[in-house]
Structure 1
């Protein structure tokens, strides 16, 4: 939703309007870390999963994805853009961005149940638990 059909970033106000529409639905799952529109999603969320994974874990996942798709565009239309700026962002995420996300969670998540996941193992456990409890 962040890009148009030609993979150009949408203007911030247009992207925010899309987020408002998506979050107004009866039920939804949104994956993304766009802090500028995070309050929109948090205000209406019932559950939030914050993947606070180590940088090495994230970079390993990026490497695996890059190898799997051989770069370029994936079959689902996602364009694989991995550059030095992105790698630096991932490496510094826990120090620079995670505190901002935590502050937004504290300020806007309201009554949402917030899960902070710090490993892939924790993520698998949480997924299994949520699958059991939401059936």
Structure 2
């Protein structure tokens, strides 16, 4: 993944929100506990966080110095998820003993993802942070190569 490559390049550990949020049986972490966990995660000096989790962007965006948003076409996202689910690409990983699988809920999240809202949030930080909006895999690779 991009996060793995970025972490290796910058010699930083990656914080995978999916691995922290999901409990056995795909049970979510309760909201207040989740927000407390995320506050603790971003209290460190240097970090790379992988994951969206809209309900904690208000905690993560202010202390971040760089924000990278993957603004991919919905159909490209769906294609990639289906390929992983069928084992043609990197396989879905295990999270807390839960095998990741293709679900209607995941498909729905991809289709209804509020891109305009996210782009508006990024605009708020345009002058204060490094913001990268990448639209395709080529731009992802170019960004990775441009990072020292």
TM superposition score normalised by structure 1:
0.80
Q: For residues 13 and 109 of structure 1, do their structure 2 counterparts lie closer, same or farther at Cα, with a shift above 3 Å needed?
A: farther
CA distance in 2, matches of 1:82, 1:117: 24
The count of aligned residue pairs is 126
SS in 2 for 1:33: coil
Aligned to 1:103: 120
Write out per-residue CA displacement over residues 42-92 of structure 1, whole angstroms, 9 at most, x where no aligned residue.
0111111000000121111101111228xx973565631322232132123
Could you tell me which runs of 5 or more consecutive residues in structure 2 were left unpaired when the two chains were aligned: 1-19
SS in 1 for 2:131: strand
- Cα RMSD (Å): 2.4
Q: For residues 87 and 125 of structure 1, do their structure 2 counterparts lie closer, same or farther at Cα, with a shift above 3 Å needed?
A: same
If each structure's helix is expressed as a fraction of its own residues, which one has the higher value?
1
If each structure's strand is expressed as a fraction of its own residues, which one has the higher value?
2
CA distance in 2, matches of 1:119, 1:101: 17
Match among 104, 108, 112 for residue 84 of structure 1: 104
Match among 15, 40, 60 for residue 79 of structure 2: 60
CA distance in 2, matches of 1:20, 1:110: 23
Could you tell me which runs of 5 or more consecutive residues in structure 1 were left unpaired when the two chains were aligned: none
CA distance in 1, matches of 2:126, 2:58: 8
1:48 is aligned to 2:72: no
TM superposition score normalised by structure 2:
0.74
SS in 2 for 1:44: coil
